[in-house]
């Protein structure tokens, strides 16, 4: 059975980057979320046309439920159309984020 591709669009409130977008689901008391925020922001600054959006999971339960987010941090790498090409839970390494971006651009 194939699952329909997950896509984030204007209704989700996510501002897409020109080439790709790093979307981070976080919560206020999540310690690994802080390090993830720094890593994603650094990578987004290094790669032209890549945006970074952080979403408070507690404030956006509708989106959390729709996307099946079960822990924070969860990172979604979106292509330029908003389609999820990589999904990962936990604190990512910079090299892994860069490799994931390679699949999106």
33-49: average pLDDT: 97
Computed over every residue of the chain, the mean pLDDT equals 91
pLDDT of amino acid 14: 84
Q: What is the pTM of this model?
A: 0.91
Which among 14, 41, 30 is positioned nearest to 89, based on CA atoms? 30
Distance CA 70, CA 20 (A): 23
- CATH number for the segment(s) 10-104: 3.40.30.10
Q: How confident is the model at residue 7 (pLDDT cuts 50, 70, 90)?
A: confident
What percent of the chain shows pLDDT beyond 70? 92
Angle between helices 94-104 and 31-46 (to 10 degrees): 50
89-100: average pLDDT: 96
State the sign of the Cα–Cα–Cα–Cα dihedral 67, 71, 72, 76.
Answer: negative
């Amino acid at each position: 059975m194939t699952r329909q591709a997950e896509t984030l669009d204007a209704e989700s409130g996510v501002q897409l980057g020109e080439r790709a977008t790093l979307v981070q689901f976080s919560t206020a008391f999540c310690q690994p979320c802080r390090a993830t925020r720094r890593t994603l922001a650094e990578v987004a600054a290094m790669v032209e046309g890549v945006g970074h959006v952080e979403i408070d999971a507690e404030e956006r339960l509708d989106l959390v439920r729709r996307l099946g987010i079960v822990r924070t941090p969860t990172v979604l790498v979106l292509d330029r159309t908003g389609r999820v090409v990589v999904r990962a839970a936990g604190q990512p390494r910079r090299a892994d984020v860069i490799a994931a971006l390679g699949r999106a651009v």
